[in-house]
Amino acid sequence: MLRAHPLLEETGDLSHSRVAILTSEEFNDFEVKIPWRFLRTRGAEVTVIGDVVGEVNAHRGDRTITVEKKTQDVSYEDFDMLIIPGGYAPGNLRSDRDAVAFTREFVESGKPVAAICHGPELLVEAGVLDGRRVTSIGGISDQLVDAGGIYVNEPIVIDGNLVTSRWPNDLPDFCLTIAYILANQGAEPEPGG
């Protein structure tokens, strides 16, 4: 439960934080909306970006979210963190040059990039995994390894500015970790925290 987690005390007010959530059609509704809500309730400015502006559909059910800006209309300089949720959206975004370039530039900037479930597919396409420890849903672990990543089956894997997580069951730890990083200007949580 989020209220009992030791990192929660160190996430506090995030009103100084600007976060981009990169998604598209067939997103995973939990992986988009839970971090979106968690960060917004702590004051972060959260902007949903993607390949189109307007409502996009989740891959299950009738849930939607509104993409506010296209990736071609923003810069990594506009944000403090990038979140790449899963579902089928990352696979769809792999063919969008602007989304791939935005992801690459964000990682190369040194700012934190957090991806969950199928989200690391976009990191594969951006070519930023060489020698990096990462995790994801098991079904794409071979893609991460083929792209030079070192696959680790753990709920949260932090390697420099990359934060990766496996699937929706890991969302409590994922949300707390990204909030902690934002609150502490990119610092990694202590091991075991």
Assess contact for 81 and 113: CB atoms under 8 A.
yes
Structure tokens given for 132? 């990096």
Nearest to 166 by CA among 100, 128, 112, 114: 114
Q: How far is CA 178 from CA 53, 102, 111, 146, 175, in A?
A: 25, 19, 12, 26, 5
Give the pair of three-digit tokens for residue 66: 């509104």
How do the pLDDT tens digits run along the chain, 193 residues long? 344 444 445 567 898 999 999 999 999 999 999 999 999 999 999 999 999 999 998 988 789 999 999 999 999 999 999 999 999 999 999 999 999 999 999 999 999 999 999 999 999 999 999 999 999 999 999 999 999 999 999 999 999 999 999 999 999 999 999 999 999 864 454 544 4
Catalytic-role residue among 14, 32, 117, 137: 117
What is the spatial distance between Cα 18 and Cα 52, in angstroms, rounded to a whole number? 20
In 3D, which of 20, 12, 69 has the Cα closest to residue 41? 12
Prediction pTM value:
0.91
Q: Give yes or no: 175 in active site.
A: no
Q: How far apart are CA 33 and CA 18, in angstroms?
A: 16
Q: Which domains does the chain have, with CATH numbers?
A: 17-183 (3.40.50.880)
